Amino acid sequence: MSHHFQLRSSVLPLRFFPGGLGARLSCNEPKHLGNSSSVGVAVASPARTMQRHQAKATAKEVGVQETAQGSAALGWAARDASGVLSPFDFSRRAQKDDDVTIKVLYCGICHTDLYTIKNEWGTAMYPVVPGHEILGVVTSLGSGVTKFKAGETVGVGYFLGSCRSCECCGNGYENYCSGMVLTSNGIDREHGGEVTQGGFSDVIVANQDYVVRVPDGLPLAGAAPLLCAGVTVYSPMMRFGLNAPGKHLGVVGLGGLGHVAVKFGKAFGMKITVISTSPGKREEALERLGADEFLVSRDPEQMQAAFGTMDGILDTVSAWHPISPLFALMKPMGQMVFVGGPTKPLELPAYAIVPGGKGIAGNCVGGIRDCQAMLEFAGKHGITAVVEVIKMDYVNTALERLEKNDVRYRFVIDVAGSLGSTA
């Protein structure tokens, strides 16, 4: 999700989480090549060439410079709104002085990837290589790189560029910069206007300022989802004081984001109540994740019993759902934070917030500083996601299962174990 509100006239209102330019390009490429486990297949891509061409033309209009082509990369891409991924050969840009080249080891599958590849936000620029929960190892670096060494374990999250000169960038909120460059399905103006391709690929090149260090000791596959899911819940918890010991936080939706929020909340010393549509998640929420209470949101009696008890709520739900009953769970002046990006607008009657003076905010991932702080905190407290590690040839099945809410709680692709690496 871009999770970013991009200030472009071409952006549709639907684009809750915009990404790159608003250009949407048609694609006549052949569909799905099957769930092949053979990853060495070069996919002919005349339509891709055409798209790149169009994307560059668009970028030129905004005054970008072309850069030299870089190295070969292999990823899995969606070619159209079916969202089916298949092997895809492409190029990574040349490494510049202040860049690191990263061999991708693991990449999480975020619900945002699903919206993007199916063009549910109307932002897809096919072919789309998804993936923005990237964990890898530095294999090479430019002469100006001071922050990282070869062999270090690092991460790249939802974005890998921003304007560096606006108020948001100056204050460490690159995630709210209107020039933010999404890691996948974004337009990289600084680097030739290429459409960016994400972490479902063997290698990525990124400027050192948009790369974070992964603390030693964290299991790698479980750490990958922290790069998006982790920072997306940690950042608003810090920003809205929903990290104070003893405070009561409700977490709506026990998925990739929600289950990590429970872990951070418990590490902060909070009381955590999960609010879920899935009664089958109760036991795990309480026993494995350490939540204090579990409410089934479709059970009015359980909801009534928790009336007015929470200091804040983090809503991570990916689909339309009733929200008035959630506001009723909060104490007066409680703070609601939405991080989910349902494509259909939510309904908010004024009476749900006016009488109790309740607050509403949104949050889109987090800045690089927050992301690094989140990782340090996770390292100290041993926080990782609960993951189902898969090979790339399972990715289409995983995406179908994610759509059906059938994952506990994050799929992570063993990218290096599936694709090898050219890095």
Interface residue list for ligand NAP (CB under 6 A): 1, 3, 110-112, 115, 228-229, 232, 253-258, 276-278, 281, 316-319, 321, 339-341, 363-365, 402, 405
For ligand NAP, the closer CB: 101 or 318: 318
For Zn ion, the closer CB: 183 or 243: 183
Q: Which two tokens stand for residue 142?
A: 């430019």
316 binds Zn ion (CB under 5 A): no
Q: Strand 271-276 and strand 330-338: pairing? A: unpaired
Which amino acid, residue 344? K
- Residue 17 CB, shortest distance to Zn ion, in Å, is 9
For ligand NAP, the closer CB: 366 or 379: 366
- Residue 405 CB, shortest distance to ligand NAP, in Å, is 5
For ligand NAP, the closer CB: 74 or 295: 295
176: region left, alpha or beta (phi > 0 left; psi from -120 to 50 alpha): alpha
- Residue 178 CB, shortest distance to ligand NAP, in Å, is 16
| Out of 77, 228, 251, 306, the residue judged to bind Zn ion by CB under 5 A | 228
Which of ligand NAP, Zn ion, none does residue 340 bind (CB under 5 to 8 Å by kind)?
ligand NAP
Distance from chain centroid for Cα 59: 24
Q: Which two tokens stand for residue 144?
A: 């100006």
Which three-class secondary structure state does DSSP give residue 387? strand
Q: In what order do the strands lie in the sheet with 293-296?
A: 293-296, 271-276, 248-252, 310-315, 330-338, 359-362
Which three-class secondary structure state does DSSP give residue 189? helix
384 binds Zn ion (CB under 5 A): no
Measured CA to CA, the distance from residue 297 to residue 314 in angstroms comes to 14
For ligand NAP, the closer CB: 43 or 291: 291
Which residue's Cβ lies closest to ligand NAP? 255
Q: Which two tokens stand for residue 164?
A: 């560096």
- Residue 318 CB, shortest distance to ligand NAP, in Å, is 4
Closest C-alpha to 2, from 208, 242, 184, 236: 184
Q: Give the side-chain half-sphere CA count within 13 A for 130.
A: 30
For ligand NAP, the closer CB: 15 or 281: 281
86 binds Zn ion (CB under 5 A): no
| Out of 6, 86, 112, 363, the residue judged to bind Zn ion by CB under 5 A | 112
* DSSP letter assigned to residue 153: E
Binding stretches for Zn ion (CB under 5 A): 110, 112, 228
